[in-house]
């Protein structure tokens, strides 16, 4: 019986794909860096590599801030201050509280049904907190854990210990972890013995060694999992 629903933020509740693309374009414009069709894909690839290194514990959340734009500038042979560019990008990103379609209705419904809702995000404080605030959702969550604030990222069990602490230490079997990332969200749930839902809207291929308890394509399927399993069906 799930009572505590722990949601990843980016691309699970928030449309990070859209927010990032817009914020990146604004940043390039601001710093006078010429953009071609290749520019954003190059950044995305580098950024993805940096986050994977973070998830493997090879770099810290702090290090990502300068590293990703340093590698990006090197890749396009441009010059600039990576930290300044990163700060501006984050500022632009923090303003964009685009929620995925139906996310807010689902959260409000689950809240009114009595579920405890939390945010678990491998993100940066100056982006995540204002975004949740701007979306008017701060008070809907009983716990919010942001990796940068505690210096530990998903899937490390210590990350989840922070969330559990804010929730007065629930039993793992009462907790359901919902996220779009197998390496951080689903592996994180496995690491702490909680059930997991892989939110996989684009039907990506899974992984042979990381198995979510459930896989859903949309919020209707997610509701079905939550309600059926909570009712003991």
Residues lying near Mg ion in the complex (CB under 5 A):
8, 10-11, 180-181
Residue 51 Cβ, how far from Mg ion at the closest point, in Å? 10
Nearer to Mg ion by Cβ, of 9 and 143: the residue is 9
**Angle at CA of residue 58, ends 11 and 15, nearest 5°:** 10
Nearer to Mg ion by Cβ, of 70 and 96: the residue is 96
Residue 32 Cβ, how far from Mg ion at the closest point, in Å? 31
Residue 199 Cβ, how far from Mg ion at the closest point, in Å? 8
| Cα 31 to Cα 88: distance, rounded to the nearest angstrom | 9
DSSP state, residue 199: E
User: Residue 143 phi/psi, 5° resolution?
Assistant: -145, 145
Q: How many CA atoms lie within 13 A of 205 on its CB side?
A: 3
Nearer to Mg ion by Cβ, of 9 and 73: the residue is 9
Burial class (CB in 10 A: 0-12, 13-18, 19+), 107: buried
Nearer to Mg ion by Cβ, of 156 and 180: the residue is 180
Contact 211, 193 (CB under 8 A): no
Residue 103 Cβ, how far from Mg ion at the closest point, in Å? 12
DSSP state, residue 181: -
Q: In the complex, which residue's CB is closest to Mg ion? A: 10
Nearest to 116 by CA among 168, 187, 179: 168
Nearer to Mg ion by Cβ, of 85 and 178: the residue is 178
């Amino acid at each position: 019986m799930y009572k505590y629903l722990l949601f990843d933020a980016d691309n699970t509740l928030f449309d990070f794909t859209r927010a990032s693309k817009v914020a990146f374009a604004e940043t390039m414009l601001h710093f006078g860096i010429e953009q071609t069709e290749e520019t954003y894909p190059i950044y995305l690839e580098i950024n993805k590599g940096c986050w994977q290194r973070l998830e493997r514990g090879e770099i810290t959340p702090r290090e990502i801030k300068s590293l990703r734009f340093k590698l990006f500038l090197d890749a396009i042979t441009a010059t600039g201050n990576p930290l300044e560019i990163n700060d501006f990008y984050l500022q632009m990103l923090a303003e964009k509280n685009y929620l995925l379609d139906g996310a807010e209705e689902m959260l409000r419904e689950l809240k009114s049904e009595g579920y405890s809702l939390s945010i678990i995000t491998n993100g940066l404080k100056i982006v995540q907190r204002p975004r949740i605030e701007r979306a008017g959702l701060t008070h809907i969550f009983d716990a919010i854990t942001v990796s940068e604030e505690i210096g530990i990222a998903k899937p490390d069990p210590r990350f989840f210990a922070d969330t559990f602490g804010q929730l007065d230490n629930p039993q793992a079997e009462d907790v359901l972890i919902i996220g779009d990332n197998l390496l951080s969200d689903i592996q994180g749930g496995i690491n702490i013995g909680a059930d997991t839902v892989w939110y996989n809207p684009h039907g990506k291929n899974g992984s042979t060694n990381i198995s979510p308890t459930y896989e859903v394509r949309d919020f209707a399927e997610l509701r079905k999992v939550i309600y059926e399993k909570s009712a003991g069906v």
